[in-house]
Amino acid sequence: MIVWAFPGQGVQRKGMGAGLFERYPRHCAEADEILGYGLRELCLQNEDGRLRDTRYAQPAMFAVGMLTYLAARDDGAAPPDYLAGHSLGELCALCAAGCFDFADGLRLVRRRGELMSAVGGGMLAVVGLTAGELAEALAAEGCADVDLANHNAVRQAVLSGPLSSLNQLGAALRGRPGVRCVPLNVSAPFHSRAMAGAAREFGSFLQAFSFADPVVPVVANVTARPYGPGEVAELLSRQIAQPVAWYDTLRYLRSRGVDELREIGPGRVLAGLWQQALDEPAPAPEPEPEPELDLTPRPAREPASVSARTPAQQLGSAEFRRDYRVRYAYLSGSMYQGIASVAMVLRMAGAGLLGFFGTGGVPPAEVERVLAELRGALGAGGQYGMNLLADPDEPQADQHTVAQYLAAGVRYAEAAGYLAVTPALVRFRFSGCARDTDGRPRAVRHLVAKVSRPEVAAAFLAPPPEAMLGRLVADGALTAAEAETARHLPVAGDLCVESDSGGHTDGGVAFALMPVMTRLRDEAMARHRFAERIRVGASGGLGSPEAVAAAFVLGADFVVTGSVNQCSVEAGTSPEVKELLAGLDVPDTTYAPAGDMFELGARVQVVRKGTLFPARANKLFQLYRQYGSWEEIDEPTRRSVEQTVFRRSFEEVWKETREHYLDTGRPGSVERAERDPRHKLASVFRWYFAYSGRLALSGAAGERANFQVHCGPAMGAFNHVVRGTPMEDWRARHVDEIAETLMSGAAGVLGRLTRPADPSDPSDPCPARPAATKEIRR
C-alpha cells in the first residue's frame, strides 16, 4: 500500500514548480486571479525573498503541491491508498481527496497565511533528542514560552516560540554530542499556543465553506488518524495551534500495511522521515473503527440531506471511490447527443463526483471541442468521463473516437451497446498500462462496460483475445510491454449491469441479473487470478433512495444513474422536454424501436405521455417487417405516413438521408440503399428517429407530438421522491444534488434496517413488519 504525502512550509525554495506552470496554465491563471500576484514569478524568481514570508509561502507551497499531484496523477502513477500532509501540506492532501477544489484551497491557505504571519516568533528543528529529553532541556533552560510543535521522528522534533528563547535553547543544545539545531525557513511560531487566536479566526473563516468528506483516507496531523465524516473544518482549525503528530502518523500508516511513501512537492524531507520510520520495528496492526450510521428519521417525501455523520461515503466499493476519485460510489451515465452535457460533467466534478459526457450522435469535430473544454477546465486526465457507443453501421467508428480520447488524456470511459470486445476498447483500456514497483499489472485507464447479457459480460471479464492484442501491437496501437501487461488484466475493471432503463434496453430485471453477473465476476477472478477485484455496478430504474439501497444490498460496488439526470438544470436538452419529464409518473414510459439498430429490432424505452412518437415509431417498424420496399406498401398507408409522420414525401426524405450519408463519408450506405429497396426503406424510416430526436432537443414549437425522449420509469419514481419540495420544479434540480438525494437517502434506508421498523411511524420510509426486518438482518 502507498501513501502520498505533501510537505509543509519550510522546504520552499526558488525555482520550485519549474515545468508545472506551463503544463497547467488554467490552474496558474486561476491562482493569479485569486492571489492577486503572479504565482509563476513568485516561485521561479522569488523577488525580494518573498518565499520566506508566510503570506506568500503558504499559497505558493499549496499551489506547487497540487500541481505536482496533478502531474503524478496524469502521468499514471499508482493511486494512493492514503493521503497525508505535514502542516500546510495537509490542505493539499484534503484537496487531493476531494474535500474542496483548487480555487477554494487557495482561498483557505491565503487566509491561513495571513493569520499565521501576524504572530511573531520562529521555529527550531532539533535532531538527536527524544521528546522527553527535549522537555527536560526546556525546563532546564527556563524556556517556558517554547512549545513542541512537530514530533517528526523518535529523535527529531521542531520547537516553536519567541526567537530569543529559541536562540537561547539552540545555543545550549548545540554543545551536546550528536545534537543538531536548525532554524526553519518560516516567519512565525506555528503549531504553538501563540497561534490560538489565529486558530479561532481561521475557524470562523472556515464556516463560509462547504467541505466534502475525503474520498481517499487522509490522516490528520492533530489525531494521527484518518479524518472522520464532517471533521474537516474542526481539525483544520485545531491544527494551527496544536502539534503535528507526524511520528504517530507514520506509525499509524505502517500499522495499516502501508509500505511506500511518495513525497508530492519540493524536497525529500518526508521521504527521509519515512525511511527512519521503516528502520524501526513495525507497530502492531490497528483495527479500523466500525462506521457510524445515521439513523435519524426523515419525512418520507423529503429528499435526504447530507448529515455530518452520513455513511453514504461508505456505500459500495472503497477501491472504486479511490480509482475514480469520487466521494460516493456513484456515476452519472452518458446520454446521447450531449444530453449528458459539459455543464453536467463539470457540475459533477465540482462536487467530487464523476459524470460521462454523452458522445452518441455528436460529430467528431464537436467531440474534439468538448474534450478541449473539459481538459481546459479540469486538466489532462481530469475528473470526467467520455462515452463510447457501439455503432452497428460503422463498427470501426470507435477507433477514431478512442484516438481522440487518448490524445486528450481521457482516463475514464463508459462503453455502451457493445455485443463484443473491439480493438478500440482494448486500445483505450490498456494504453499506458505497466507493472508497478511490486510487479503488479496496473492499468491507468478505467473502462465501465455496460452489459445486460451474461455472454457479453464474460468477454469483458476476461483478458483481451490474444489475436486482437497481436494485431494491435503489429499496428503500433499498443506496445509489446502494454500487451504483456494486458494479458493479466480484464478488459473492463468495472462492469455495470444494465437493467430495464431509458434508451437501449433488453428489459432485464436487476433481481435476476445482479446475482448472475456477480457470480460470473467471481468465476472470472478465480479462473484468471487477477490481482485486483473487478467491480460490478448497477444501473437502470435508480430513481429513489430505496432503489439505490436495493442495488447495494444486491452486491453492487457502485451505481450509475441516467434518466433522472435528464431532468436537471445541467442536462443538454430543451426546457420543454424537462417540463415534460418533471410531470411523469412511473407508468408514463413505453418501448419503441431503436433508430440506430432499427433493422435488428432493438428497443429503446421512451416517454409516451404527451407524445405520439412511440406509436408512430412502432408503426414504421411493423411496415418494415411486413414489406420489402416502399412501393409494396398500399397507397392509403403510404399517404398516411407521408402526411402524418414525415410531413413530406418519401423521395424528399430519401434525398435528405442520401445527402447526410455522403456528407458524413458513408457512400457505401447510399450504394447499398439504391441497390436494395428494403435497405432504402429502413434508411428512410430511420430518418424519422433522427428527426424526432432533434425536435425534442430543440423543443420545437408545436412539435411535442413527435418528441422522442429516451427515459425509464426511474424518472417517475424520482418525481414522487421530490414531490412537495423545491426540487419538484426541475429548475431547482442540479445533477449533484440528485446524487446527494439518492445516496444519502439510500444510506438512511439501509441504516434503518438495523432496527425494527415501526409501522405506525409515518416518517419511516421502510415500515416493514418486525419479522421481515429480522429476516433481512439474518
CB of 159 closer than 8 Å to CB of 169: yes
How many whole angstroms separate alpha carbon 79 and alpha carbon 318?
13
> Which entry of 87, 117, 192, 237 is annotated as an active-site residue?
87
Residues 327 and 94 sit within 8 Å (Cβ to Cβ): no
- Kindly tell me the burial class for residue 473, based on how many C-beta atoms sit within 10 Å of its own C-beta (0-12, 13-18, 19 or more): middle
In sequence order, what are the residues at sequence separation of 6 or more whose Cβ sits closer than 8 angstroms to the Cβ of residue 4?
Answer: 69, 72, 80, 82, 83, 84, 93, 96, 261, 262, 264
The residues, any chain, with a CB within 8 Å of residue 222's CB and separated by 6 or more, are 235, 238, 239, 242, 245
| Residue of 27, 86, 151, 191 marked catalytic | 191
**CA 622 – CA 625 distance, rounded (Å):** 5
Active-site residue 669, yes or no? no
Q: Specify whether 86 is catalytic.
A: no
| Total residue count of the chain as it appears in this document | 778
Helices marked H in 606-708 — which ranges?
Answer: 613-626, 635-640, 650-663, 667-675, 677-698
Instruction: Report d(CA 598, CA 205) in Å as an integer.
Output: 59
C-alpha to C-alpha distance for 94 and 235, rounded to whole angstroms: 11
Query: How many CB atoms are located within 10 Å of the residue 629 CB?
Result: 12
Any alpha helices (H) in 723-769, and if so which ranges?
A: 735-752
- For residue 640, give the amino acid letter: S
CB-based contacts of 617-623 (< 8 A; 24+ apart in sequence): 617/592, 617/593, 617/688, 617/689, 617/692, 617/708, 618/592, 618/593, 619/645, 620/593, 620/645, 620/685, 620/688, 621/593, 621/685, 623/681, 623/685
Q: Phi then psi for 350, rounded to 5 degrees?
A: -65, -20
Residues annotated as part of the active site: 87, 191
